[in-house]
Amino acid sequence: MLIERLETVDQVLRRVIRKVVYLTLIVPLRALTGLLHILRVKVLRRIAIWMWRQDDTIIANRPRPVHSVFFVCKGNICRSPLAEAYMKSKLKGKNQLRVFSGGLDTTPGHTANAVAETIARQYGLALEGHRTTPISRDLIRQADLILVMDYSQRQSLLATYPEAQGKVSLLSSFRRGVLTHIPDPYGGTLEQFDHCYQLISQSCDNLLTYIEIPESASLHERSVH
């Protein structure tokens, strides 16, 4: 009987000790881990924003006017085709500025993403004639301004084409408010594609207020598909 009672007391003590350890060590450690993660994200974001602002400085110091704008994303099936189509729609009747798009990781000849086509139609744009184009040294050379969708794309592009230094920027750096990348909606919902389109259109609207459209009638817009 005494042994059974001692075993019961021992079990109770073990439960109490586990509870005390959990409350005094595990819970605070989890809270600290969560706090460190939040701080890490905030620090990295501040660093990214600072680096993105360097793009603004580079672009702001570029000689004007800009004769050609090259939109770049990963596959050239969602974001960059939407940006190209939107920009061309805003420039209708002003064919002095050349606008084209390409992808960092794509092969030629593919159509645009079906959901991207749907979003484009909702806003009076057409992507049915779009065909993917891999970026190349020749396209880099032809572009006065190269606009990517996120910082990793900028890094990747410059690593492969260092001669593009000084004319590459995040498209979203022209968007008012908090600087952010334009997330890839591929595989996402219609709402995510619409959000992507809104970020692109807002950025392009501000881009148009920045660049000076060339007046030379000899420079005609050419589509690169």
Helices (H), 61-178: 79-90, 114-122, 137-142, 151-160
196 is catalytic: no
Question: What count of other Cβ atoms lies within 10 Å of the Cβ of residue 83?
Answer: 28
| 118 Cβ contact partners less than 8 Å away, ≥ 6 residues apart | 190, 193
Closest CA to 141 of 171, 118, 161: 161
Q: Hey, which residues does 170 pair with through a beta bridge?
A: 148
Among residues 73, 78, 196, 204, which one is catalytic?
A: 73
Q: How far apart are CA 68 and CA 221, in angstroms?
A: 8
Among residues 56, 62, 131, 184, which one is catalytic?
A: 184
Token pair belonging to 109: 């000849």
Residue type at 154 in one-letter notation? R
Q: Look-up: residue for tokens 């580079």?
A: 58
Q: How far apart are CA 134 and CA 138, in angstroms?
A: 11
73 is catalytic: yes
Among residues 79, 98, 154, 175, which one is catalytic?
A: 79
The catalytic residues are 73, 79, 184
